[in-house]
Structures are given as C-alpha cells and as structure tokens.
Amino acid sequence: MAIQRTFVMIKPDGVKRKLIGEIVGRIERKGLRIVAMKMVKIDKTIANKLYEEHLGKSFFNELVEYITSGPVLCMVIEGDEAVKVMRTLIGATDPKDALPGTIRGDLALSKGENVIHASDAEEKAKREMALFFSTNEIIE
C-alpha cells in the first residue's frame, strides 16, 4: 500500500451550488480519509502561487479571477495512492469529456467552472497543501 496525501479543493461554483456534502460524501465512500478541511476565500497572492505553472498563458487572469470570486473548501485527503484515486474520482477537466459517475461528469457545468480541483502529482500536492495548511492543521 502506498499511502499518500493529496490536495483537493471544491471551487467557488461547487460551494455556490451547495455541492459540498455530495462531493465530500463521494470522497469518503471511496474509502479516502479527510485529514484536514477548511473553507477560505483565496486572495490574489495565493491564487497566483496556486496557478503559477500557467503564468503567461492567455487564460491565467481568468483562472485567478474565478478562484478568487467566492469561498472554496480546501482539503487534505489521505489514502492508498490518493493522488491517482482522486484524479480518477474527479474525472476529466472538461465535463464533456468526464465519464458519468465522476464528480465532474455528474456535477460540473463547464470547463471553466468544473466544481473541483485535485493535485495531479505527489510533489504538486505537497506544494498545494503547504499553501493552505500548516502541519499542525493536518490530523495524524
């Protein structure tokens, strides 16, 4: 078993549409464990760090505006190969390509407002977790 931790965030559209319970339920029913959780309003400084890999791309400013537009629910999820399992659970970025049964396939409305984010690699998860959580906020 390769127990990992990953960063997951319910985006502003998911919070606004009252999908938190549905999404958290799916994560828990999958057998993953939530070891940290908090609702935050992301400021532009943190948003720039979160999306730094997209800096200079045509959609960068749009990403920052969207993610700072309302509260988000940030989580640290733990489980066997948590990064891979969460990425499978959320589905493709564009909900038109996401399979039925995935979070985005069932709940997302558009590529721009796709309800949820999950880190796509273990190193990225560590960086993203550190943006939102101190080590004493994560349950051991």
The tens place of each residue's pLDDT in the chain, 140 residues long, gives 789 999 999 999 999 999 999 999 999 999 999 999 999 999 999 999 999 999 999 999 999 999 999 999 999 999 999 999 999 999 999 999 999 999 999 999 999 899 999 999 999 999 999 999 999 999 98
Marked catalytic residue, from 76, 90, 117, 133: 117
Assigned token pair, 110 = 């558009």
127 annotated to a ligand binding site: no
For the chain, which domains are there?
3-134 (3.30.70.141)
Report DSSP state, residue 98.
S
29 annotated to a ligand binding site: no
54 in catalytic set: no
42 to 12, 34, 98: CA distances (angstroms): 10, 20, 26
Amino acid at 68: T
59 annotated to a ligand binding site: yes
Round to whole Å and give the CA distance between 109 and 97.
12
Round to whole Å and give the CA distance between 118 and 122.
11
11 annotated to a ligand binding site: yes
